[in-house]
Amino acid sequence: MRHSRVAGYLLSALLLAPLAFAEPESEEKVIIIKAEVLEQVVAPDKEASALAEPITRQEAQVVDPAGTNPLNDPLTCLARTIYWEAKGTLGLDMESVASVVMNRLAHEDFPNTICEVVKQGSERSPCQFSWWCDGRPDEVVEGNAYEITKEVARRALNRQLPDKTDGALYFHDRSVMPDWAHEFQLTTETDAFFFYRPQASVK
């Protein structure tokens, strides 16, 4: 069960904590474990929420510092999604993209990890997030922009980011109008995006 998985993460974090002060690689592993615990708190089974420890600003920047790590931990997957979907936009746009990922993580119809949410659709069309299957390299090319997106990702994982999308599970760039948009309820719009959630069911 997820409760035992969270307990395992916490035990691992306690065992690895002393190493964090000796080796940067070990410190990164400890922070990734913290992110995994926070991720599971948001997923539909919300057991052990009191055991989750927030990630600090400094800790977030330790993970994937060059933007070249494999996409297999929550903070990297979330930060890279914000980066590729919304870098160069205003803070609200980046925060709203983060909220969509977190809303999907919390929703029973989507996967239970951030990386699985982001990679849903694999490397084929239709991918849920366009950057993941556009055939281009996924490594970061603008370090300063990536630092900003990692801070947004950190706040989202810590549940310190108000959801200004009103529960949106979908979004698209303002420059396009996909066929699926008319099937959903528009919840909000930003300078760069439109955000949607499923229509309320009629009972």
Q: Over the stretch 72-99, which tens digit does the pLDDT of each residue have?
A: 999 999 999 999 999 989 899 999 999 9
Quick one: angle between helices 24-42 and 2-20, nearest 10?
160
Quote the DSSP letter at residue 124: S
Whole-model pTM: value is: 0.84
What pLDDT is attached to residue 124? 55
Tokens (6 digits) for 159: 């549940």
* Spans of the chain below 50 pLDDT: 1-22, 202-203
What pLDDT is attached to residue 16? 43
What pLDDT is attached to residue 122? 66
What pLDDT is attached to residue 199? 87
What pLDDT is attached to residue 46? 56
What pLDDT is attached to residue 9? 46
